[in-house]
């Protein structure tokens, strides 16, 4: 378990500050993460990687010469927000375009692709490649649904080396996609990880048993077996990975492979070496030539006791990139040429927040919005443990803490914006950004979309009406469904959102006040959230464990029901004039 921390909600930020202080010759802090502190030639493609914190040395630990130009670093096990990704990409950009690369998790996909759209709109040519190396998370026929685990490194290393050689953005993307297609990983765990401040691990494994095919965020394994010997584990790893060869490779014999035996946090290096001894022998027996193997901690899961094996099937070009030199805080290979340190003034600074003018009516509405967001934070605080428990049934168990971080940040941002004279729209936009930045993950992205959409409908001028609120809710639902790609029946927040939207609209069209219509809609949402217990998930981290979730409601739908009920109480207590 984690013993050394201050305020658990500040752990990730304090960790990044300490990491930068310890590695100032290689990395520099920017809003949202870190970038190289060394000079990169103008016109070079910038590789920006990222994901949640808690996986060191991924992602900040591999920023430096020969590897990433920047890393967007989210909260613990939560993807960075689109705003954070965009900020890091702007600081890392050197005029050759930007490649965003990350593990294939719903929250990361949402945030990074949103940042990609913003960067392209700003005239910075940007592409993305999601890593899908984990063979346990989906069958070969659905490779695009697989998670990214320790194979992140092979894709990042190849793309970065191609950028160092002066490849164009299109060519760097080609290399990254080829590296991803030729990378396969498989992992096991002997115990779960415990986040700072938590009193229990995200998942548990009985003594003497091993979770097979688990994720790196605390997702349960797809199977459970007795703990084997070191040689037995090596045999399981090699047999599993050799059973699926990349497209275009008909036989393993005679092939060259990069190899990563990765420790997930608590397995000692000495144990890994014992396992690797047998892995090396098995690969040789299969006729494979191993190139520059890596044994150690490359992508961890906080203090999880576990390990994974990655095979990177090389061709001449990929082998050159795999062998290329690199010098980062946590990963070094070969010898890189000495380069100049960047002057701090050359790294783009974050812009100060500007509060647009708002009229009296909108500022009064903003005060009611602050009450509503404070109520959201309060109800999430009271139910955070239960939300985590629900999420842990088939997911990674972090929904409660993620919602808590997001709601608290949104509440603080809302109060600050109100004090600065913000109208309803601006206050909701700033709250949306704060929620997305602090919560990260899928829920952070979706709540950011929702609050922004409602803000756009309310505006910074005039008194909001029941109709404008309803229009904002409809826009929020549309944005979430477009952004997250979920539909009714997928066992997500959408299952509660749609009946809420429809009931609210129907009540207002029938002449009901906002408070009355909202309460009816909240009741419909709560009922729909409860009914998700009978559904099987078709999206997200719970999908590989669909059967386990039967009988348990979706955590996102359940939290949405709690939130809209808390807002109903605020509206019921608001004076007639404010309504």
d(CA 426, CA 374) in angstroms, rounded, equals 17
Alpha-carbon gap, residue 8 to 382, rounded angstroms: 17
Peptide bond into 57 cis (omega under 30): yes
Pick left, alpha or beta for residue 158 (phi over 0 → left; psi -120 to 50 → alpha; otherwise beta): alpha
DSSP characters over 305-333:
EEEEEEEEE--HHHHHHHHS-EE-SS-EE
CA count, 13 A, side-chain hemisphere, 549: 32
| Burial category of 197 from C-beta neighbours within 10 Å (exposed 0-12, middle 13-18, buried 19 and up) | middle
Report the run of H or E that residue 498 belongs to, with start and end.
Answer: helix 494-509
Hunting for tokens 């979770």 — which residue is that? 211
Listed in sequence order, the residues at least 6 apart from 11 whose beta carbon sits closer than 8 Å to its beta carbon are 5, 76, 196, 197
Q: Token pair of 342, please?
A: 């960047």
* Helix or strand holding residue 433 (H, E): helix 424-439
The CA distance from 260 to 245, in Å, is 17
Which residue, 369, 561, 377, is CA-closest to 472? 369
Task: Report DSSP letters for 9-56, one per residue.
Answer: GGHHHHHHHHHHHHTTTTEEEETTEEEESB---TTPPEEEEEEEESST
Please identify which residue in the block is written with the tokens 């207002």. Answer: 508
Length of the chain: 579
Task: State which H helix or E strand residue 380 sits in.
Answer: helix 360-392
Active site residues: 217
Instruction: Pick the closest to residue 164 from 382, 367, 337, 399 (CA basis).
Output: 337
CA–CA distance, 425 with 362 (Å, rounded to integer): 8
Classify 225 as helix, strand or coil.
strand
C-beta of residue 300 within 8 angstroms of C-beta of residue 150: no
Location of structure tokens 């609120």 = 469
Encoded tokens for 105: 């998790």
Report the C-alpha gap between 253 and 476 in whole angstroms: 54
Residue pointed to by tokens 């100032």: 24
Distance CA 309, CA 264 (A): 11
Cα-to-chain-centroid distance, residue 546: 21
């Amino acid at each position: 378990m984690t013993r050394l921390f201050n305020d658990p909600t500040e752990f990730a930020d304090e960790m990044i500050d300490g990491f930068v202080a310890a590695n100032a010759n290689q990395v520099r802090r920017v809003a949202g993460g870190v970038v190289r502190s060394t000079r990169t030639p103008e016109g070079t493609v910038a590789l920006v990687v990222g994901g949640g914190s808690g996986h060191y040395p991924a992602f900040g630990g591999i920023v430096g010469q020969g590897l990433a130009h920047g890393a967007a670093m989210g909260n613990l096990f939560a993807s960075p927000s689109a705003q954070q990704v965009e900020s890091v990409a702007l600081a890392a950009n050197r005029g050759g375009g930007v490649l965003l690369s990350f593990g294939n998790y719903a929250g990361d996909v949402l945030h990074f692709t949103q940042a990609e759209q913003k960067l392209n709109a700003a005239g910075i040519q940007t592409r993305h490649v999601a890593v899908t190396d984990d063979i346990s998370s989906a069958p070969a026929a659905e490779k695009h649904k697989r998670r990214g685990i320790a194979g992140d490194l092979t894709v990042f290393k190849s793309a970065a080396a191609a950028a160092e050689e002066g490849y164009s953005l299109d060519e760097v993307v080609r290399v990254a996609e080829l590296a991803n297609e030729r990378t396969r990983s498989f992992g096991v765990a002997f115990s779960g990880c415990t986040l700072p401040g938590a009193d229990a691990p995200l998942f548990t494994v009985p003594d003497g048993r091993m979770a097979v095919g688990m994720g790196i965020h605390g997702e349960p394994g797809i199977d459970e077996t007795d703990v084997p010997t070191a040689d037995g584990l090596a045999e399981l790893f090699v047999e599993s990975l050799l059973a699926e060869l990349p497209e275009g490779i008909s036989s393993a014999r005679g092939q060259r492979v990069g190899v990563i035996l990765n420790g997930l946090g608590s397995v000692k290096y000495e144990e890994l070496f014992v396992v690797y001894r047998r892995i090396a022998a098995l690969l040789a027996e299969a006729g494979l030539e191993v190139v520059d193997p890596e044994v150690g901690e490359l992508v961890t899961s906080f203090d999880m006791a576990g390990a994974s094996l990655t095979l990177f099937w090389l061709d001449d070009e990929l082998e050159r990139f795999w062998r290329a030199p690199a010098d980062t805080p946590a990963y070094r290979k070969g010898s890189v040429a000495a380069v100049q340190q960047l002057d701090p003034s050359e790294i783009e600074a974050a812009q100060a927040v500007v509060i647009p003018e708002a009229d009296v009516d909108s500022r009064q509405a903003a005060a009611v919005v602050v009450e509503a967001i404070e109520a959201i934070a309060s109800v999430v605080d009271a139910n955070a443990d239960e939300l985590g428990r629900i999420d842990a049934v088939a997911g990674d168990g972090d929904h409660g803490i993620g919602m808590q971080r997001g709601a608290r940040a949104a509440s603080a941002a809302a109060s600050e914006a109100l004090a600065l004279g913000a109208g309803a729209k601006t206050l909701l936009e700033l709250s949306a950004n704060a929620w997305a930045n602090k919560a990260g993950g899928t829920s952070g992205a979706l709540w950011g979309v929702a609050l922004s959409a409602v803000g756009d409908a309310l505006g910074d001028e005039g008194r909001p009406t029941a109709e404008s609120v309803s229009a904002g809710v409809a826009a929020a639902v549309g944005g979430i469904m477009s952004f997250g790609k979920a539909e009714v029946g997928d066992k997500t927040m959408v299952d509660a959102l749609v009946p809420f939207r429809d009931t609210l609209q129907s009540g207002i069209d029938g002449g009901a006040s906002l408070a009355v219509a909202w309460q009816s809609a909240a009741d419909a949402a709560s009922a729909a959230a409860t009914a998700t217990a009978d559904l099987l998930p078709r999206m997200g981290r719970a999908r590989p464990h669909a059967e386990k979730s039967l009988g348990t409601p979706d955590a996102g739908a359940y939290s949405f029901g709690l939130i809209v009920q808390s807002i109903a109480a605020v509206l019921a207590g608001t004076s007639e004039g404010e309504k």
